[in-house]
A and B are shown apart, each in its own frame.
Chain A
Amino acid sequence: MVYAVEMRGITKRFPAVLANDHIDIAIKAGTVHAIIGENGAGKSTLMNILYGLHKPDEGEILINGQKQAFGSATDAIDCGIGMVHQHFMLVPRLTVADNVVLGKEPRKGLLYDRKAAIAKVAEVCSRHNIQVDPAKKVADISLGMQQRVEIVKTLYRGAEIIILDEPTAVLTPQEIDDLGEILRQLKEGGKTIIIITHKLEEVMDFSDDISVLRGGKHIATLRKAETDIPELTRLMVGRDVQLGGRKESAPGKEEALRLTDIVYAAAGRQILKSISLVLHKGEVLGLAGIDGSGQTQLAEIVAGVLTPSGGSVVYHSRDITGKTVAQRKKEGIGFIAQDRQKHGLVMDFSIAENLVLGFQRRPEYCQYKIAVNSKAVISDAQKRIREYDIRTPGEQVRVSMLSGGNQQKVVVAREMGSRPQLIVADQPTRGVDVGAIEAIHNILINHRNKGGSVLLVSLELDELMMLSDRIAVFFDGRLMGILDSATATREQIGMMMVGSSLEGKEGPAS
């Protein structure tokens, strides 16, 4: 049998890591093949090799049985391989059609033939039954649509084998279903699809075959029909993983946080419209909503990095509306910012330095009031690395050298290590692997069970429903309602996320 892609003995070394260690993977033509693994397992490296972006140190690649050596992505594209990156590479100000043909434009004489471009793109779309409006500007379409544009781009260039890197990371639940449909159609049209992901639900939804990588090695290739999520998780992580909250006690009645009429406007746009809500001690309050509904701004207002245009923030019966971030940290508010690389960490600092960021003025980290007590900082860092299972050769390693999951563990270790009473967690598991997700979930639930409070922003409904006691749903800067997570359904929350309020209820509940 001839495979669409065969990779034999692929080995790739980077200065500090063996990213791919003699990987053998064969992918059948006309199937959807998932490549799964934790962050740092080597899946992106492997796909970058297949797409010609990296050269393997050892091993060979066969496409449709022919041996190939790619010097660049152009070679791979000529060979019928297309790749949709996790971060889209589109020009926002150009139209969909312009973006698709960019670099391979139809011409009329010396000029760009826009009409022909639109016609060609429309033709590609209808052949594969993908709905995109070729005349729209990319800046005006949703992320899900942009992803379709990327897929159409590969098809326009004649791709028979399409690689998708973490395709669902930015999509809403509905868009994920639509993507599944598109992939199914492409498969029926004879294309071979490779998806890189660490989300196992999607793997089970989308794929025919599944290859698991761990630590740069190929662990197994399985047929979907013959496996299940627990087995895949075990293969990925190398041990059993228990996802799911263990909520023990009921939330207390004491208020930890009370927000009253919070308003926030930026650049003339109302981002938060009079939000009032209460978070109790021993409670996880989830903030649900499509990305950009104002949840992040609310979290940042509580953490103190954003100043609200109006309203008050009361924490443990004290008004902290005007307090600085540093004061709030002292009062016991921990904050896991959404963008760890930009906001949570100084990427060029070592792990040890990052572990005290924001707490550097605490007496235990200071000497003679003005100097850093390096001994304390280092021994503390070593303790946290052990306690939070941060995978690193040492505490002096630059945090930029760590994988996403381990970077996030550094942030969590720092914010939790300060013994906060309220944790504001803005998408704490975004882009991290299943092992780290488990660890972070456990940490948040333990915090709650010990009587602490958690304000949790997440775009993943499953995560919210699993961890939260109550879920506040946001739409366009408004609080659509607060549901008890024990009785709420996905459909209910999904409806509220797109703007329909709870039936029979007017205005925000609290």
Chain B
Amino acid sequence: MKINALKLRLKDALVPLILILIAFLFSAIWISFMGKSPLEAYRALFAGAFGSTSGVVNTVKKSVPIAFASFAVIVSTKANVFNIGAEGQLAMGAFGATMAGIFLKGLPAAVHIPAAILAAALGGMAFALVPALLRVKRGINLLVVLLLMNNIARFLLQFFVLDAFASDNALVPSTDRIMESARLPYLIGPPYRLTIAVLIVLAVAIVLELFFRRSTAGYEMRAVGLSPEAARYAGIDINKYMLLGLLLSGALAGVGGGLEILGNHHRLYIDFSPGYGYDGIPIALLSGGSPLISILGSLLFGALRTGSLNMQAKVGISDEIISVIQGSLILCIAANYFVKYLLNRRRSGKAGKEAGQ
């Protein structure tokens, strides 16, 4: 029985790897259509992401906001909500952190940094509050509202950066720089500039794991996510958890955006996020709801984003191919059940189905 359970778990772990492999193979077809060698392209991609110290550091750096976006999606999914609005919340979190970074003056770094991160969390949370209230009070379809909120966030960001808080002395449209005291300290200094944001990712992942595995509220939230009806019959307030889940999710996405400003850019640009918030979605789905495992997925996506530059330079393939890989990955996830079915059929039986039922 134990061995069987272990085998089943191994099979569960195998599925995401197979999906990623399929996505790469599928994208290879398109690369060869473009008259390039997929093997060469992927070698350049890999070399760009992991071939040098600065490549590795960049991969890790880029994985930070992606990891937070995936935490956000994981947390919301646990509460039976699908937070497709992480991108918007991430932008509002970045805005919150920027404001705290610019306008809170005379604070020591030990206070200023946590305050700015808190502002990021509040920014993301506030932006998730609108759809959450619409859902709980009016029963409006969350997916649509969340998706549209992403557009609102984009235009708000343009307004903030180009108008309300536009800097007078910047080459690219952006806000002013945040105060020194709000900038994240380096773990590895220039030229690599790896900040303590990495440690924050790990810490948050561990706290989230503990929350879901050990806390009573985490238990209740999982019950709501797995079976809202059973949770309601057990006397658990499902609306409370949907609200809580979405707000927490928004806060996490916001922190992801905030760390990006506090650690890397030190000022807010319109295009500071190339879509980190969307990257979180496939990762959350691939990681089976585990924040720690989602860090691995975030590293993969960080590597794609980092290595694609090298691929573009060496092989001449536009970095748009990254979107193709990600897109195929999402298609693969949608086809996940089919892959599981194929795996199970090879063992000639429906796994997990109770016999005799």
A residues contacting B by CB (< 8 A) are 12-17, 19-20, 37, 39-45, 54-55, 57, 216, 303-305, 324-329, 335, 337, 342-349, 353, 357-358, 360-361, 365-366, 370-372, 374, 393-394, 400-404
**Pick from A13, A342, A365: contact of B230, CB under 8 Å:** A342
B230 & A44 in contact (Cβ 8 Å cutoff): no
Chain A, residue nearest B8 (CB): A15
* CA of A16 to CA of B237, assembled, Å: 36
Q: A45-B355, A54-B349 are in contact. Are A16 and B233 (CB under 8 A)?
A: no
Q: A15-B352, A42-B355, A357-B223 are in contact. Are A371 and B229 (CB under 8 A)?
A: no
Chain B, residue nearest A340 (CB): B230
Chain B positions 320-357 with a Cβ under 8 Å from a chain A Cβ: 347-357
Q: Which chain A residues lie closer than 8 Å to B348 at the CB level?
A: 55, 57
B189 interface residue per 8 A CB criterion:
no
B356 & A370 in contact (Cβ 8 Å cutoff): no
Q: A357-B223, A372-B214, A403-B357 are in contact. Are A15 and B235 (CB under 8 A)?
A: no
For the A-B complex with A14-B353, A353-B219, A401-B352 known, give 13 more contacts whose Cβ atoms are closer than 8 Å. A16-B4, A20-B355, A37-B356, A216-B355, A324-B237, A327-B235, A342-B227, A343-B229, A344-B230, A357-B234, A372-B216, A400-B354, A403-B357
**Pick from A43, A325, A349, A371: contact of B356, CB under 8 Å:** A43
A317 to chain B, nearest CB (A): 22
List 10 interface pairs A-B (beta carbons < 8 Å), by A numbering. A15-B8, A15-B351, A40-B354, A44-B357, A57-B348, A346-B227, A361-B216, A366-B216, A370-B216, A403-B354
A19 & B234 in contact (Cβ 8 Å cutoff): no
Q: Which chain B residues lie closer than 8 Å to A393 at the CB level?
A: 1
A404 & B357 in contact (Cβ 8 Å cutoff): yes
Q: A305-B232, A325-B233, A344-B233 are in contact. Are A370 and B215 (CB under 8 A)?
A: yes
* CA of A347 to CA of B237, assembled, Å: 19
Q: Which chain B residues lie closer than 8 Å to A55 at the CB level?
A: 348
* CA of A15 to CA of B4, assembled, Å: 7
A363 to chain B, nearest CB (A): 11
B356 & A346 in contact (Cβ 8 Å cutoff): no
* CA of A337 to CA of B229, assembled, Å: 11
A323 to chain B, nearest CB (A): 10
Residue from B215, B219, B232 having most chain A Cβ neighbours under 10 A: B219
* CA of A393 to CA of B2, assembled, Å: 9
Q: Which chain B residues lie closer than 8 Å to A327 at the CB level?
A: 235
* CA of A420 to CA of B348, assembled, Å: 46
* CA of A401 to CA of B353, assembled, Å: 7
Q: Which chain A residues lie closer than 8 Å to B4 at the CB level?
A: 15-16
A14 & B351 in contact (Cβ 8 Å cutoff): yes
B87 interface residue per 8 A CB criterion:
no
B231 interface residue per 8 A CB criterion:
yes
Q: Which chain B residues lie closer than 8 Å to A41 at the CB level?
A: 356
Q: Which chain B residues lie closer than 8 Å to A20 at the CB level?
A: 355
B342 to chain A, nearest CB (A): 16
* CA of A37 to CA of B355, assembled, Å: 13
B226 & A15 in contact (Cβ 8 Å cutoff): no
A40 & B355 in contact (Cβ 8 Å cutoff): yes
B217 interface residue per 8 A CB criterion:
yes
Question: Which 4 pairs of residues, A with B, have the shortest CB-CB distance?
Answer: A19-B355, A326-B235, A358-B234, A325-B235
**Pick from B214, B230, B231, B355: contact of A371, CB under 8 Å:** B214
A401 & B216 in contact (Cβ 8 Å cutoff): no
B216 & A371 in contact (Cβ 8 Å cutoff): yes
* CA of A401 to CA of B232, assembled, Å: 23
B227 & A372 in contact (Cβ 8 Å cutoff): no
Chain A, residue nearest B217 (CB): A370
A324 & B235 in contact (Cβ 8 Å cutoff): yes
* CA of A455 to CA of B234, assembled, Å: 18
* CA of A14 to CA of B235, assembled, Å: 36
A39 & B215 in contact (Cβ 8 Å cutoff): no
Chain B, residue nearest A339 (CB): B229
B215 & A342 in contact (Cβ 8 Å cutoff): no
Chain A, residue nearest B349 (CB): A14
Q: Which chain A residues lie closer than 8 Å to B226 at the CB level?
A: 346-349
Q: A16-B1, A345-B230, A349-B223 are in contact. Are A360 and B216 (CB under 8 A)?
A: yes
A115 to chain B, nearest CB (A): 41
* CA of A170 to CA of B219, assembled, Å: 35
A337 to chain B, nearest CB (A): 6
B230 & A42 in contact (Cβ 8 Å cutoff): no
Q: A305-B233, A329-B235, A393-B1 are in contact. Are A12 and B216 (CB under 8 A)?
A: no
* CA of A42 to CA of B356, assembled, Å: 4
A17 & B235 in contact (Cβ 8 Å cutoff): no
A256 to chain B, nearest CB (A): 20
* CA of A371 to CA of B215, assembled, Å: 4
Chain B, residue nearest A337 (CB): B233
B260 interface residue per 8 A CB criterion:
no
Q: Which chain B residues lie closer than 8 Å to A42 at the CB level?
A: 355-356
* CA of A50 to CA of B103, assembled, Å: 76
B176 interface residue per 8 A CB criterion:
no
- A-contact 0/1 string along B207-218, CB 8 Å cutoff: 000000011110
A267 to chain B, nearest CB (A): 16
**Pick from A304, A344, A346: contact of B223, CB under 8 Å:** A346
B279 interface residue per 8 A CB criterion:
no
Q: Which chain A residues lie closer than 8 Å to B223 at the CB level?
A: 346, 349, 357
